[in-house]
Amino acid sequence: MIGYKDNILMCEDIDIRELAEVYDSPFYIYSKNDILNKIRFLKDIFSSLDNVLIAYAVKAENNLSILKMMADEGIGADVVSIGETLKYIKAGGKAENIVFSGVAKTEEEIRKSIELNIKRFNIESIPEAVRINNIAKEMKKRVKCSIRVNPNVDAHTHEKITTGVTGNKFGISIKTIRENANLLKSLDNISIESLSMHIGSQMTDSEPFYKAILAMKDFINDVNSMGFNITDIDIGGGYGVRYDKNSSGFDFEHFKSKSINLLKEMNLNVTTEPGRYFVAESGALIMRVEYIKEELGRKYAILDGGMNDYIRVAMYDAYNDICPLVKKENVSNYDFVGPICESSDFFAYNRECSFIEEADYVALLDAGAYGFSMSSNYNSRPLISQIMVDKDKHYVIRKRQTFEDMIANEII
Ligand code: LLP
């Protein structure tokens, strides 16, 4: 719910210019009710299935306040580090609703997760299965696991965020699982009750999802005939959002009529791990125009926020809308660039935008997912603040780092 009302950019009921007066630029804003709407929408999509865990992929945005919203709504967590686990629990989440994915789980992370009694490990390799089994044995426990299958289905998304085709480091191929079935069955301290997948992120076409679930269906029958008893399926995340408002987002209609129906037929307990979908469109990065620089026919809008605050454009050629806080009639074309000493530090080239000048503010829209969570101190720039907006109220959910915070762990 960030959008224009009478040419003024609003976040819920607040004129974003008011926020720019109160908080030091740059800063992130989030619309609380947009996140809640997305959560409720997705719950509704899955509502015809009996036993579903929606586990938020914490990596998309891990602010405690946002994790608390998830926990309060009964949303579980898909984590990839013990840090994410501890944050979700600190925010009020229950360990029994945590699934632990990721290719490099350390012994310490595994031990701590077993102690906490998380729901299950999503195993990404045979040596990991052996390691979890050994640790569980030492702790005299039997732990629940899922095998992350690489179904080799192309998700039709950016090459850097596709994860379910041969050649990605994620999951285990069907061939390897077959070859190691006896070894896996001999591991007495793990119980393999589930198969999981995650074929990619920012998918808009839901057909690959359907194809991958279909492949999993056949494979589950296969695995059961090898002597396993699979009761659960984890279909991963990947629901795309509308970064470009002329494009369509994830095709939930198709997903509901095909994938949900297929899942219903399969009659298994279902887990899904949405990350981006819950938070991307709720967030914006607000930045100040430091200079307008005109040079050899180009017009640069030089902003105070850079790729250290939002790296997705530099890293994935991502598209985000950039909007002035007040829309004027005249337009011009700008290169929106940041302060970092890298040519890849830009947000858009030659983008038409209503007229802006020095000391105006702009909003980089749909920046709520993989925005702050991928930010860094590059160029010795402190991590910026995060502000939550709830109707006509706003409050800080993360304070800006001070210079002292930034150097606190360094030793001279
Ligand atoms: N589950 C697993 C096992 C994952 O690896 C991921 C994302 C998710 C769930 C959540 O996917 P989502 O629903 O958010 O698409 N930094 C990249 C995205 C990387 C996604 C990695 N895995 C970006 O900014 O586009």
Among residues 161, 160, 126, the alpha carbon closest in space to that of 145 is found at 126
CB 308 within 8 A of CB 378: yes
Residue type, 285: L
Residue type, 233: I
Return all residues near 285 (Cβ < 8 A) that are at least 6 apart: 26, 27, 28, 305, 309, 310, 363, 364, 367, 371
| Ligand 1 close to Cβ of residue 161 (< 6 A) | yes
| Ligand 1 close to Cβ of residue 234 (< 6 A) | no
- Say what the pLDDT of residue 163 is: 67
| Ligand 1 close to Cβ of residue 153 (< 6 A) | no
| Ligand 1 close to Cβ of residue 312 (< 6 A) | yes
Q: What are phi and psi of 326, to 5 degrees?
A: -125, 125
DSSP designation for 258:
I
Angle, to 10 degrees, between the axis of helix 64-72 and the axis of helix 32-45?
Answer: 40
The string of DSSP codes covering 383-412 is PPEEEEEETTEEEEEEPPPPHHHHHTT---
| Percentage with pLDDT > 70 across the chain | 98
The pTM of this model reads: 0.97
Max distance between CA atoms of the chain, in angstroms, equals: 71
Among residues 280, 273, 264, 336, the alpha carbon closest in space to that of 306 is found at 336
- Say what the pLDDT of residue 11 is: 98
Q: What is the CA radius of gyration of the chain?
A: 23
| Ligand 1 close to Cβ of residue 370 (< 6 A) | yes
Angle at 264 between CA 263 and CA 269, to 5 degrees: 70
Question: How do 143-150 and 172-173 pair as beta strands?
Answer: parallel
Return all residues near 180 (Cβ < 8 A) that are at least 6 apart: 126
Catalytic residue check, 323:
no
- The residue whose CA has the least distance to atom 20 of ligand 1 is 201
- Say what the pLDDT of residue 270 is: 98
Cα gap 112→123, rounded to integer Å: 16
| Ligand 1 close to Cβ of residue 239 (< 6 A) | yes
- Say what the pLDDT of residue 204 is: 94
Q: How far, in Å, from the CA of 391 to the mean position of ligand 1? A: 29
Ligand 1 atom with minimal separation from the 274 CA: 13
Ligand 1 atom with minimal separation from the 196 CA: 3
Cα gap 172→197, rounded to integer Å: 10
Q: How far, in Å, from the CA of 276 to the mean position of ligand 1? A: 7
127-146 confidence digits (pLDDT tens): 999 999 999 999 999 999 99
Q: Under DSSP, is residue 302 helix (H, G, I), strand (E, B) or coil?
A: strand
Q: How far, in Å, from the CA of 194 to the mean position of ligand 1? A: 20
- Say what the pLDDT of residue 162 is: 66
Q: How confident is the model at residue 156 (pLDDT cuts 50, 70, 90)?
A: confident
- pLDDT exceeds cutoff 90 at 371: yes
Ligand 1 atom with minimal separation from the 312 CA: 24
236-245 confidence digits (pLDDT tens): 999 999 999 9
Q: How far, in Å, from the CA of 403 to the mean position of ligand 1? A: 31
Which of the two residues, 299 and 160, has the higher pLDDT score?
299
Ligand 1 atom with minimal separation from the 240 CA: 15
| Ligand 1 close to Cβ of residue 200 (< 6 A) | no
Q: How far, in Å, from the CA of 367 to the mean position of ligand 1? A: 14
Angle at 235 between CA 229 and CA 240, to 5 degrees: 180
Ligand 1 atom with minimal separation from the 369 CA: 24
| Ligand 1 close to Cβ of residue 148 (< 6 A) | no
